[in-house]
Amino acid sequence: MADVGAKKLNQNGTSTPVVNASSSSLTDSVSSTTSQAHRPATKQKKPPDLPALESRNWLIHLHYIRKDFETCKVLNKEQLTETGGLCEFAVFVEALILRQEGKIQESLDLFQNCVFLNPHCPDNLKQVARSLFLLARHKAAIGVYQEAAKYSEKDWEIAHNVGICYMHLKDYERAKEFLQTAITHKHHEISFIMLGKVYMLERNVERAIEVFIKAVEIFPENTELLTFLGLLYMEIKEFQKACESLGNAMSFDPTHIKAILAAGSMMQSHGDFDVALTKYRIVACSMPESAILWNNIAMCFFGKAKYVAAICCLKRANYLSPFDTKVLYNLGLVHLHMQQYASAFHFLSTMLKYKPKDPEAFMMLAICLTYLDDADNAQKAYQHAIMLDPDDLTICLNYALYLYKQGIQQEAAKQFALFEQKKDSYSSAGGVIDQEILVTANQLNFAVENNENPAWENSNSDEMESDFSTSKPLTKENSANFEAKINPIPAESATTDVNNTSVENWEPSNILSPRPKQSKLTSLPPLQASSELLKLRETLSFSKTPTLMKESENSGKKF
């Protein structure tokens, strides 16, 4: 074995010194270190810039809650462009903005994209169901809500909204079941309100009052609940309790519009028109375009015999709500009292086009036709009114009076006998009959028995005119107290009998035959309290449509 200092022979015979391996590696390391010290440093490569899917969520949320929708749309577009449409939050907020702009179908498509991106998120499913609800696709909305319930157990919002959908489908039993389930999950005032409205749709006022009493015990300072409870007490004529509930509502919020309006209506129903007008003046500052308000103001003027002012207010109410049948009825009533029979006929016939099964309107229409010398159509209108409501004392007495004045004595006597039977049964049931109705019935009874003119036929025309200008319309109950029909929610009667089905789409021009040519009747007196019995319909109706609960759209979806 050769030593370290040995020489190595080349192929040509020359020798070269052999270098030690350890010394050679040391030399190389020293030289490499020296060269690196003089070599410039190279830059390290950065990792690739991958765009985050939710990098702008905070900024989108900030602009959305400020309702800066234009900037929000620009940010959404940039975010979706960078992420290839995969940013769930940007799609969600864009759908919310479209829905607030009224583009329900477009928002539904975007919410469905959110469900595609995150199919197990209950918030996405609830928003899809809400869009379906707004499109009146209630059955489809129920299915989506039930799917969302699989991922969110005991969610009161889902149970509440399913109950609202069933209420729109008129399945009141299922609606009550889900609303009660929502209340068990969480005590929320809106669920109590909607449950009470379902009972009112079923005409079960007592059960609705129980629901609102329970709600007031849980939320004693909620003015909406107190106002609804007061309205229900007014519905069943318990004015003392109604006054207490409305007073409590106004004590917590002195500017609560609905409570003030309800209190004014209650005072108006008791004949205190000046105080009611004072209340309405307060409401008019906040609700100058309320048809309900101007209708009630008009009826206050009507109660004070200021017919021109009443017509002005009713015309304004009709302008604000042209399809409100109660405003049209009152316009016909006031024009009838002013002896403007053609105008009264116009408003009443228009009202009957929208509500063809109102017996009181047919009676009013018959009175108009009587004074327009159209006896045949007046008789048909009376008969149709009796067919719609055979138990109404006022219609029956007016028809008997009409027949007697037309000289049809036997039919008048027969109709008056029916009136007496209905009056006895009504009295035996505990009903209170207006005194003026009884006076008119006694006069007609005396005239029928003695074959004479009724007492009002013997007075001269001047006396009749003065009586008309000061007389008040008669109602079933107290004519001095104008009864307000409180309708907190719109609810149509679901009961129809066989006789009514033929006039489901009736229009007044179809039932009234062409007016015959005849000479003007001179025996008809001007309209006065003792000759025709009229009904007043002044209303207070809160048209709150059933609300669908949703998450606050001001906060968007949490990120």
Closest CA to 105 of 94, 115, 95: 95
Provide the H-helix boundaries in 150-222. 156-168, 172-185, 189-201, 205-218
* Three-class SS state of 149: helix
Residue 219 DSSP symbol: S
Identity at 359, one-letter amino acid code: P
Provide the β-strand partners of residue 17: 7
> Structural domains in the chain?
321-456+464-490+499-548 (1.25.40.10)
Neighbours of 296 (CB within 10 A): 26
Burial 242-262 (b: 16+ CB within 10 A, else e): bbebbebbbeebeebbbbbbb
Sorted by sequence, the CB contacts under 8 Å of residue 535 that are 6+ apart come out as 333, 360, 363, 364, 394, 473, 474, 475, 476
Give dist(CA 434, CA 509) in Å, integer.
33
Sorted by sequence, the CB contacts under 8 Å of residue 177 that are 6+ apart come out as 163
Give dist(CA 104, CA 133) in Å, integer.
10
Q: Are strands 15-17 and 7-9 parallel, antiparallel or unpaired?
A: antiparallel
**pLDDT (tens digit, 0 to 9) for every residue of the chain, 559 residues total?**
444 444 444 444 444 444 444 444 444 544 554 455 455 555 666 665 555 667 788 888 999 999 899 999 999 888 888 888 888 999 999 999 999 999 999 999 999 999 999 999 999 999 999 999 999 999 999 999 999 999 988 899 999 999 999 999 999 999 999 999 999 999 999 999 999 999 999 999 999 999 999 999 999 999 999 999 999 999 998 999 999 999 999 999 988 999 999 999 999 988 899 999 999 999 998 889 999 999 999 999 999 999 999 999 999 999 999 999 999 999 999 999 999 999 999 999 999 999 999 999 999 999 999 999 999 999 999 999 999 998 888 999 999 999 998 888 888 888 888 988 888 888 888 778 888 888 888 888 888 777 665 554 544 434 333 333 333 333 333 333 333 333 333 333 333 333 333 333 333 333 333 333 333 333 333 333 333 444 445 434 333 333 344 433 333 443 3
CA distances from 283 to 16, 235, 292, 294 (A): 119, 22, 11, 10
Helix or strand run (H / E) with residue 346: helix 341-354
Environment class of 530 (CB within 10 Å of its CB; exposed 0-12, middle 13-18, buried 19+): buried
What pLDDT is attached to residue 506? 34
CB 166, CB 133: distance < 8 Å: no
What pLDDT is attached to residue 109? 94
The 3-state secondary structure of 467-486, one letter per residue: HHHHCCCCCCCCCCCCCEEE
Give dist(CA 329, CA 349) in Å, integer.
9
153-157: Cβ within 8 A, 24+ apart: 154/185, 155/122, 155/185, 156/182, 156/183, 156/185, 156/186, 156/188, 156/191, 157/126, 157/182, 157/549, 157/550, 157/551
Give dist(CA 111, CA 550) in Å, integer.
14
pTM (two decimals)? 0.66
Tokens standing for 502?
Answer: 């033929």
3-state helix, strand, coil in the chain (%, to 5): 65, 5, 35
